[in-house]
Amino acid sequence: MASSSNFMAPPPKMNKTSSMNSLRKTLGLKKTSNGELSMVPSRPMVSPTLSSPLGGSGAAPLEKDYHSLEYRLTHGHWRIFNSKSVFGNKDSSVLVFDKKSNVKAPPKLGKSKTYSMFDLIKYETQQLMGLIHPRILHMEHNLEETKDYFSFATEQIYGNLENIVTDDSIDRLEIKLGVLQIIDGMSYLHNSAKMLHGNLTPDAIYVTATKTWKIGGFSFAVNAKEPNCYPCYPWTKKLPPCLQPDLDFLAPENLASGQTTVTSAADVFSLGVLICWIYAGGKRLIDAKSNLETYHIVVGQLDAALQCISNELGPNLKDSMAKVLSLDVEVRPTVQLLSLIKHFDDSCLSALRQLDDIAQVFDPSQKSHFLSQTLNAAIPHISETVWFNRVLPRFNEQLLELPEMYYSITKPLFHILEHCESHNIHKMKPWIRKLMEATTHNKLLRSFILENMSALFRRLSDEFVEDKCLDVIILSLKSEDTSLQSSAVRGLPHVAEYLPISFITKKLLPTIMCLPPFLHENVPRQLDLLAALAALSDRCDIANVALLFGCISLCNSSHPVIVHAKSRIVQRLVMRDPNRLKDAQLFCVHLLNPLITGLSCKDLSIFTCAHFDDILSSVRILLDVLEQRRYEMEDRQEHKQSNHHLGLNRLGNRRVSMSSTNLPRVMISAARPSFSSDSRKMSFLSADGRLEDRGSRRESRDSRGSLESDMSIRIGNGSDISDDSCFSSHSAKGRRQSWLDGYGHSVSLEQNTNGFLETTSRNLGDRNSINFKQRNARASERRARTRSPNAELDPHREQPPARPNSFTNLGHNIVLTYRNLLYKDHT
């Protein structure tokens, strides 16, 4: 074959007005710099868009069977065009040889018939037509000869090996896989076809559209005369190099004096030289430049040549190549043994090889097991380049029309979607759409998608897929199949943040209200639903929270884990937006009542101390919110009355509450960190005015690791706010102390403000100052409810004298009242 160094530089582009005769002239032979004729035609930059892709007025090659020919590349002495078949519009390649590029043997050889390239081309295509194997280039149309061309058609060809191996972006796993594909093809030739290739060079390897490396170039292939005995023809200077095998890839025994036969070891030597060429990035191990003397010198120094590329080969492959390239034929391993060396012992490589041959697996269960288990386990260890260069094309080629295999490839596809770069996501859309369309008739596929739907919303951004997801959720919830209902409910927490508000309020929550038969006396299902409702609560506003509370009431089990789950929902509601709890009757019926009832259940012993305190804290939160709503209602009524009447009446009738009007706000600010990962505890004001941390009053007992404890933690933001085991009592005390410091500072500010108001009232002697002082006393009484006795944490800090706290002692309230009345009489 002619080497690529003999190619002429491409001619300049031809414009549309150029004459066709001048274009045809560019296809003729031209002289090189040394005056020799090039063995192949020069390569045009752009293929003319006329009846003939090669120019001229003649008919295009194979025009009856193929159309839309477009120039792709030059490979050896063939010019390759992309095309489409007339029947089926299938992508194919048409290989064309211009007869003007023919090379003939010198007539002085004494042959009756002149030996030329025409003979090699006819022999090559004849041999190729008779070989059917996945690793041999598939020929779709026989050789056809016209006045100007030889042409035949094959499966679509992507490129040549030289361009592939010199590409820096190619993954090493792809190189290993390609080499193994060549080894598989050679094994078929030696063991089944009983054929010696005779010229295994880079020009003999074709890379198809599916990135499979396939063997062609059978111009010098010979069949065995006897088992493992093939005829051998000497290499001579009398013939042009393009009419003989490539000397750089020829085994030494082919050049031995008097040698008439060789074994398959000759192909093994050629394969070894080709492998070294591949791993060296296209550098020839033997570069004799068609000179026999140079060839023998280099072959005698192959050990040194291997050492030069040892880094590219690696230790395992280098040791094997030393045997493959041995001058002793008996030392060389067979092709089958070469595929078993340690260099190719790779689970990912094995999975990709099986995927290439998936079409040859006819047992559906075996095929399904490979896709869902073996391939899925290998996918995380395969690079993204290989995902889109080999795995996805194999799916498109072999599995696109097999809906029964869709569930088996769902896991690999979702892993690729989750972890691929954003610029590759669009390549996944056709497959995801196919999967969504198949969910109607495939129960297993629908269950998997329901539980992994969040990836579709986060990564894909496809309206068609999103609409299908919403339909699948509703259809599954309405299904009579409990497994589909369970999958839909379990998947809701992961997609709640992506669902449209209108879908939640108009379709989802009303559909959930129809689930009582599914939930009846089934604690795990009710717990799954509460987890979903906790996530959906973040999306509900005041207008539709009533429907959410109704869905919560569907989980009517008194089991401790259900009670604790509802407690976590209460805390989540208060944390996100407590204003949604405006309807006191609504949250008392659906939230407060179940919590109080749950605290009195017989299975109370199942609770850990932490869980019990957590539920009790939620009850207190709801009670304080209820009290706050009551005070707000009183305030609105009192604003309609006079300020004087307001002060006397309210001071005389107000009961001593367990908390102040500001307590819900204080509690929320103190409890907010407890929903984060630091597991901080919730603090409350006790009846005697002390700030107590109910989680740190007593150490929780060791968790029994029960199902209830594990499942109840699933509600909320993902952290157990009441588990004392996650931090020591010392750290808890430190956190509580730091909160009290800030709280004491706020109380001191209120006392300073109060002192200023009292001083001002003494300086005013009229009736207005008395009314002002009464209002101030009322305000002071309300502020005193939130005052902590720990406000004076630093004994050395100068502070104005603090008056008695009305919340800590009822007597203080009475003394304060009488003092104000006496002061009024004095003035």
**131-144 confidence digits (pLDDT tens):** 999 999 999 999 99
Of 2-16, 152-166, 342-356, 547-561, the one with minimum mean pLDDT is: 2-16
The pLDDT of residue 483 is 94
**399-445 confidence digits (pLDDT tens):** 998 999 999 999 999 999 999 999 999 999 999 999 999 998 899 99
Neighbours of 74 (CB within 10 A): 18
Beta bridge partners of 153: 94, 141
Question: Mean pLDDT throughout 186-215?
Answer: 93
DSSP secondary structure string, 351-419? HHHHHHTGGG---HHHHHHIIIIIIHHHGGGS-HHHIIIIIHHHHHHHTTT-GGGHHHHHHHHHHHHHH
Give yes or no for a contact between 560 and 606, defined as CB atoms under 8 angstroms apart: yes
Tokens (6 digits) for 425: 């996501």
Question: In whole angstroms, what is the distance from residue 12 CA to residue 70 CA?
Answer: 18
pLDDT of 773 above 60: no
Question: Mean pLDDT throughout 324-347?
Answer: 93
End-to-end CA separation in angstroms for the chain: 123
Tell me the one-letter amino acid at 559.
H
Instruction: Place 602 in a pLDDT band, splitting at 50, 70 and 90.
Output: low
The pLDDT of residue 225 is 87
Instruction: Place 185 in a pLDDT band, splitting at 50, 70 and 90.
Output: very high
**537-548 confidence digits (pLDDT tens):** 999 988 888 999
Could you give the 3-state DSSP secondary structure of residue 464?
helix
Tokens (6 digits) for 289: 């430049």
Question: In whole angstroms, what is the distance from residue 30 CA to residue 41 CA?
Answer: 8
Helices 429-438, 443-451: axis angle to 10 degrees equals: 120
Question: In whole angstroms, what is the distance from residue 627 CA to residue 785 CA?
Answer: 14
Higher pLDDT, 221 or 649: 221
Tell me the one-letter amino acid at 12.
P
Instruction: Place 105 in a pLDDT band, splitting at 50, 70 and 90.
Output: confident
Residue at token pair 């896991």: 411
Instruction: Place 447 in a pLDDT band, splitting at 50, 70 and 90.
Output: very high
The pLDDT of residue 387 is 95
DSSP secondary structure string, 169-221? T--HHHHHHHHHHHHHHHHHHHHTS-EE-S---GGGEEEETT--EEE---TT-
Instruction: Give me the chain's average pLDDT, please.
Output: 76
**342-362 confidence digits (pLDDT tens):** 999 999 999 999 998 898 888
Residue at token pair 């929270």: 545
**812-825 confidence digits (pLDDT tens):** 555 555 556 555 55
Give yes or no for a contact between 36 and 103, defined as CB atoms under 8 angstroms apart: no
pLDDT of 491 above 60: yes
pLDDT of 742 above 50: no
pLDDT of 104 above 50: yes
Question: In whole angstroms, what is the distance from residue 123 CA to residue 219 CA?
Answer: 6
Question: Mean pLDDT throughout 494-516?
Answer: 94
Neighbours of 326 (CB within 10 A): 19
Give yes or no for a contact between 69 and 88, defined as CB atoms under 8 angstroms apart: no
pLDDT of 223 above 90: yes
Handedness of CA 270, 271, 274, 275 (dihedral sign): negative
Tell me the one-letter amino acid at 383.
S
Higher pLDDT, 84 or 803: 84
Handedness of CA 275, 278, 280, 283 (dihedral sign): positive
Give yes or no for a contact between 527 and 711, defined as CB atoms under 8 angstroms apart: yes
